[in-house]
Structure 1
Amino acid sequence: MTDLIIAIVLCVAVAIAYAVAALIQARHAHLTVAQLVRVPVLWLAIGLNGLGAALHVASLNFGPLSLIQPLGVLTLVIAVPLAALTARRKPTRLELTGMTYTVLGLTGLALIITTSGKADTLTSFELIALIIGTVVFVTVLGFLGRRPGASTLWEAVAGGVAFSVCSALCQTLVVTVGDSGADALLWPTTILAMVAVATFAIVATILTQRSYRNGLSAPLAVTNLVNPASATIIGVALLGENLATSNLEIALAVICGLLSGYGVAQLARARDVATTITVPPTPQKDVQPVS
């Protein structure tokens, strides 16, 4: 029970770091990568993302991937009141409703999820296949998102998948080093995993940054839904985790997932409404007749 509490506390800290970073990134999402590197505050966002990633890796020592990843949706729950605070307004009823449904769904998932016990690791074949598959998938979605007039949600999905693969690779690294010692850091597969984590983290950050260019909430919601969903698939399929063991648990998990999804959708809608309300029209100067 102590490990579970520590894992949840770390996940909340991760969500706060990611939420603040997302708000900073959204304000500069219209800039190119070359322009972004010259924006000092963006380095704060990168630092917060790095801190969130470090805390996320630490949380993997205290809980399974399929439990930790769904709690990432808390990023959106925290981002909403932070966005309202920076806009000097109170959260709307729609925002509060969305947060309530999201928290209820996530709490249910956290209580229902069961695992096989000791965290598993990716085999060399699984690790290489996962990296290649991720590169192909993320590249295709990235190109789809760059088409003229394309939805920014393509890049949000790609970013969410890249982040989830980072988590799976981090779990393999943490468990491998924990079982075999620091010498494991020199193994070829371990080096490949570390390079992949760094690469996917950078790619995911750029993709999510671009996805915010037409608004924060919808892309952030999609990223935080895709991230735990794809991570859970990886955990169950490759890391030996067991999501549910009975039909009743499966049914309850589906209901909780629907509640969480509905809550996130409400939060995304509420963010769009709040942006529309809080951005006043540009005042027009009176035109004086020419004498």
Structure 2
Amino acid sequence: MSAALAAVLLSLLSALAYATAAVAQERLASRSAGAGLPRLLRDRAWWWSVLLNAAGALLHVVALRYGPLTVVQPLGALTLVAAVPLGARIAGRRVSAVEWRGTGLTLLGLGALLLTASGPAPDDVLSVPEALGVAAATTALICAFAWPGARPGLRHATASGVASGVASALTQTVTVAATDRSGPLLGAQVVGVALLVAAFATVGLLLAQTAYRGGLGAPLAVVTLANPVAAAVIGVSLLGERLRGGPVGVLLALTGAALASWGVVLLSRAAPEPGRAAPTQVVASGGPPLPGQRRRSTHRRLTRL
């Protein structure tokens, strides 16, 4: 099996694990809105979502050993493909036409970005000063997005995507440096960057948990878009990765980014309001509404009109 194919297959499995974790986090956030971290730590469902995220992260780490950031990161868009219909099914509703269009546009845009990616298995790493500089810039950016204000869900989702993308870029440095036989397995570079990976991965997880309080589709789309963009910036500017196709490739990448952004906007408009009941939600007694109950409910709505 070639390195590129191994990276793609591992990325697919990683996306599936991340999608299941995202749905679990969204459901947990919707039923415990306003709950602090201590309460989450006592919830077994939250720990299951953490384990799913950990499984996705482990598969992602291995994929980064076989493929460059510009190839592996856009494949994370498959998380959105699985999570939106899965979340709707668990919530007892159908995926709306707007959600399908938003998901499709996001994936089409990220697919265009993937077509412009190129490069063999990674062999370059960030130096310690570069890693510290990236960490400092990322921390400032996360603080700016996480500052209190309007639309906290999408801002927290953006911060989560940036944190996760940077964690992936730093993870690639750890995996390449740790498997390089020319240096020590646990040198200062590997240990120091690994600590930064753990910090940004944790921050990304917690920010995603708060972002999902407003629904799943739009925040997950923002995370899916911000993640590869952050990683690609590091890969192209510091790790020598390139977009193929010259000027045409750059134009295709910009077009893909515009399409993906349009998809995110559609998903943000289609996101259900927190606390709004799903169309197929059962009554509070736990069973389906009786025919008489349905008729009386309809009569009350007509009376109000």
- Normalised TM-score (structure 1): 0.86
**Shift, 1:4, TM fit:** 2.4
Matching residue of 2:289: none
Asked if structure 2 preserves the Cα contact closer than 8 Å seen for 1:76 and 1:264, the reply is no
Q: Compare 93-102 and 267-276 and name the one that shifted more.
A: 267-276
Matching residue of 1:72: 76
Distance 1:268 1:82, change over 3 A: farther
| Deviation sequence 1:170-221 (CA, Å, 0-9, x none) | 1001111121378331x12221111111111111111111112222222222
Structure 2 stretches of 5 or more lacking a match? Answer: 285-295, 301-305
Amino acid aligned to 1:135: T
Larger relative contact order (Cα-Cα within 8 Å, sequence gap ≥ 6): 1
Amino acid aligned to 1:246: G
| Deviation sequence 1:198-247 (CA, Å, 0-9, x none) | 11111111111111222222222212111111111011111111124511
Matching residue of 2:10: 10
Amino acid aligned to 2:92: R
Matching residue of 1:262: 262
Amino acid aligned to 2:246: S
Distance 1:105 1:137, change over 3 A: closer
Matching residue of 2:155: 154
Quick one: distance in 2 between partners of 1:116 and 1:3?
8
Using the aligned pairs only, state the percent identity: 37
Question: 1:1-291 maps to which residues of 2 (within 5 A)?
Answer: 2-29=2-29, 30=33, 31-115=35-119, 118-142=122-146, 144-145=147-148, 147=149, 151-180=152-181, 183-185=184-186, 187-272=187-272, 278=278
| Deviation sequence 1:48-105 (CA, Å, 0-9, x none) | 0000110000111221101111221221221111012213344333233333333333
**Shift, 1:42, TM fit:** 0.8
Instruction: Specify the SS of the correspondent of 2:13.
Output: helix
Instruction: Specify the SS of the correspondent of 1:166.
Output: helix
**Shift, 1:40, TM fit:** 0.6
Distance 1:83 1:271, change over 3 A: farther
Distance 1:117 1:39, change over 3 A: closer
Asked if structure 1 preserves the Cα contact closer than 8 Å seen for 2:116 and 2:244, the reply is yes
Amino acid aligned to 1:53: A
Asked if structure 2 preserves the Cα contact closer than 8 Å seen for 1:102 and 1:260, the reply is yes
Amino acid aligned to 1:129: G
Q: Compare 270-279 and 161-170 and name the one that shifted more.
A: 270-279
Distance 1:116 1:9, change over 3 A: closer
Quick one: distance in 1 between partners of 2:48 and 2:270?
27
Quick one: distance in 2 between partners of 1:202 and 1:117?
27
Amino acid aligned to 1:113: A
- Normalised TM-score (structure 2): 0.82
**Shift, 1:132, TM fit:** 2.2
**Shift, 1:33, TM fit:** 0.5
Quick one: distance in 2 between partners of 1:8 and 1:270?
30
Quick one: distance in 2 between partners of 1:161 and 1:64?
18
| Deviation sequence 1:227-275 (CA, Å, 0-9, x none) | 1111110111111111245111111222222223323433443443899
**Shift, 1:122, TM fit:** 0.2
Instruction: Specify the SS of the correspondent of 1:60.
Output: helix
Distance 1:85 1:244, change over 3 A: same
Quick one: distance in 2 between partners of 1:56 and 1:26?
22
Quick one: distance in 2 between partners of 1:205 and 1:182?
32
Structure 1 stretches of 5 or more lacking a match? Answer: 287-291
Asked if structure 2 preserves the Cα contact closer than 8 Å seen for 1:165 and 1:231, the reply is yes
Instruction: Specify the SS of the correspondent of 1:25.
Output: helix
